[in-house]
Structures are given as structure tokens and as C-alpha cells.
Copies of this chain bind each other. A is one copy, B any other.
Amino acid sequence: MRQSKLFTKTRREAPKDEVSKNAILLTRAGFINKERAGVYDYLPLGLRVIKKLEDIVREEMNALGGQEFLMSSLQRQELWEKHFNQDRWNDKNVDIWFKTRLKDGSELGLAFTHEEPISNMLEQFVSSYNDLPFSVYQFQTKFRNELRAQSGILRGREFLMKDLYSFSRTPEEHDDFYERAKSAYRNIFNKVGIGDSTYLTKASGGSFSEFSHEFQTLSLAGEDTIYITDENKKEAENKEIGVKDLEEKKAIEVGNIFTLGTKFSDPHLKFKDKDGKERNVFMGSYGIGLGRLMGTIVEVLSDDKGIVWPHEVSPFDVHLLSLTDGSKVFADEVYKTLTSQSFEVLYDDRDLRAGEKFADADLIGIPKRIVVGDKTLESKMLEIKDRATGETSEMALEDFIKSISL
């Protein structure tokens, strides 16, 4: 895409009302726009990152056999109030509901998760052991009425989440899926570039089970405190589950996996086992917030010049800069060649000084930068810069293409 056509612009100054690094950098670079605390728009560059993350997560969910669907945000009271053996409608039990009303006065909630409606919906489809096991997932906008929201896109009042739910016949069948989900999550965090600093962390199971697991990424911006129990295996424990004589580390919870047991299936979501005996379905839930994941990558991988996107989640593969009027024709050719080979290129064709273009490229953080200037016209050698390492090199276009296609 030609940067002259992109409607967003970078800005030099940090927005006055932001304190978190992720929000400051993403706003300055034109990835997000704040509507109010905890509520952000995703501008074209930001949405491209979200879509890359979504594709990576979707691939792993499909590999688990997950079936994608999409549930509604609007939730009816009676389902959360008494359908299963608990009442999560009551604001005393759940203090993050946004609620609204239909014209007839009946109250609706905005979903912050989907255990109740998914279990209820499945009653029509599950009756026999032949119908199990399976798992379903969605990318869906969640709403949480947080008292405070000052962490940029790490903690949103409205945010995109991937939530997966598993339905098994027995605890053993569940455990098998749960372990496979752990591996899928590990793959995701490796692929998006934060695997080295992300720990599988034993945490409280809340009211559902003794333990759950979180994936915690080391960062001073984190709200959680963990102890690293095994550096090689990347394992940790959340401070909440016991006092350890280890160094405390701040971390961001980028994912969680829960054994729910029969909490949301009892008494209504049942199946007949091979002996004709009725049993409750055994459930698990597995979440990743896409905005939080994007924010974490920015917190962990940025430097003093701006964002540093790993290639897999970068809004573009290549940032092409044309420095002078004279170099535009050649840069146009490079742009045409790269895009015709399906590379995603942000092409800075704007009439700006070289220094401003360099600063913008560093801020936006696309992993590979190609500079075309007057010098290039003679030598035909492109100046390539790696955003992460800062290393520069000179290459002919065809060699560059080979190097990034490997």
C-alpha cells in the first residue's frame, strides 16, 4: 500500500491521556485510536496485526479440531441466573457486567464470556456418547465493565477474544484435550514472537477446579506476579497459589486454560453413556485476548525508537522508502515487483525528508526496510535494514526476495 494513501499519520508526541507503553507507541504509530479508557478503535495498521494474530490462532484451533462459530453479545437474564447450578447474573457475583434493556423493559447483558449460552445451545445437539467429544471456538467481541482501564489495549472494556470450549465424556478424555490445548497455546506464543519470555503458569482454578493454567509473559507492564519454577521448560507458578522462596517477576497473562468440569453442564447438558446412563458433559474453556496479545508484543519487543514486529504478525512484510524525487521511478518498480510476488509492502512515497521517513519506519516497526535513494539508481543495490537488529546490508532486489522467501 502506498503510504501517501494511508489515512492515518504518525505523531511525534505521546498522547496526553496515556501512561502505558503499548498505547503510547500504537497511538503514535497510527495503529489504534482511543474512544475512551479501555475502548479503542483498530486503524488499518492495527487491524492488519489483529488479522495476522487471528490467522495464527485459528490455524492452531483448527488443528485441535475446533469448529468455529460466533455467538451473540446480547445475553438473556434467565440463562445466567438459574439455568445451571450458579447465578452469574447477579452483580454481587460478577462485578463486570454491562447491562442494558429492551423496550419492553427486560434486561440484557453484554457477554464477558460464553459458558452459559454455549452449554444451553448445545442441549439441542448433544444426547449420546456418539455426539462427543468436540470443541468449538470463536473470535468475538467481549465487554467487561472494568472499574479502571489504564493499561492501553492490555485490559479493555471492549475487546476481541478467542474463546474455545471443549466438551468431553470423561475427565480422562478432557485431560487429553487439555494437554493438546497447552501445546497449541505454546505454538501460538512461539509463532507471534514472545515464546522465550512466556511461561506456562500454574494458577488458582477459581470456583471450578483446584488449578488452572495461565500463559504469563514477563513484562513490567504486567498485573500478575509469578515465580519461575523451571527456566528450561518455561514453567512458573502464580503468586496467588503459594509462597515460594523465589524471585518475584511481573508478567502479563496472555492466555488461560480452565478445567470447568460439570459446573456449566449440570443439570441440563447431559449425554447417555454406552451403558445408557445419563452423565453431565465434562467441560474446559481456553481464552486468548487478541488485543492484549498485540499489546504484549509491543510491551516486550519495542525499543526506544518504536515498535519491533516479528515478521509473522507485522502489518506488512516490507517497508519500502523512496528518498528523493529522482528515485521514485525505481522505487515504483521495486514496489511493483514485490507486490506482484504477493509480498505485503508499505511504500513510503510521501514528499517528506529522509529523516522523517526513517523515524516513521522505526516507529511503525515493520521488520525489513528497503531504502531507495539516488545512490541506488547507479548501483541498483538496495539498502536493507533489519528493524530488530539494526543491521544494514546492500542487496540486489532478486537477492533480497530470495532472502525473505527462505
Binding site for B on A (CB under 8 A): 5-9, 11, 33, 35-36, 39-44, 46-47, 50, 65, 67-76, 98-103, 108, 110, 117, 121-122, 124-126, 131, 134, 136, 141, 143, 145, 147, 157-158
In the docked arrangement, what's the CA distance between A8 and B125, Å?
6
Among candidates B41, B67, B98, B141, residue contacting A100 with C-beta atoms closer than 8 Å: B98
Write out the residue numbers on chain B whose beta carbons fall within 8 Å of the beta carbon of A145.
102-103
Question: If the complex has contacts A100-B110, A147-B103, are A7 and B136 also in contact, measured as CB distance less than 8 A?
Answer: yes
Copies of this chain, complex-wide, total 2
Write out the residue numbers on chain B whose beta carbons fall within 8 Å of the beta carbon of A41.
69-72, 117, 121
Write out the residue numbers on chain B whose beta carbons fall within 8 Å of the beta carbon of A36.
74, 76
Interface centre among A7, A41, A134 (most CB of B within 10 A): A7
Write out the residue numbers on chain B whose beta carbons fall within 8 Å of the beta carbon of A11.
124
- Selected A-B contacts with CB under 8 Å, 8 pairs: A5-B65, A33-B121, A33-B124, A41-B121, A46-B69, A50-B70, A73-B141, A102-B145
> A43 near B69 (CB under 8 angstroms)?
yes
A262 to chain B, nearest CB (A): 18
A383 to chain B, nearest CB (A): 28
Write out the residue numbers on chain B whose beta carbons fall within 8 Å of the beta carbon of A122.
7
In the docked arrangement, what's the CA distance between A219 and B46, Å?
40
> A44 near B72 (CB under 8 angstroms)?
no
> A7 near B67 (CB under 8 angstroms)?
yes
Q: Look across to chain B and name the residue whose beta carbon is closest to the beta carbon of A351.
A: B130
Question: If the complex has contacts A74-B39, A100-B98, A147-B103, are A134 and B67 also in contact, measured as CB distance less than 8 A?
Answer: no
In the docked arrangement, what's the CA distance between A40 and B40, Å?
26
A326 to chain B, nearest CB (A): 21
Write out the residue numbers on chain B whose beta carbons fall within 8 Å of the beta carbon of A47.
68-70
A58 to chain B, nearest CB (A): 11
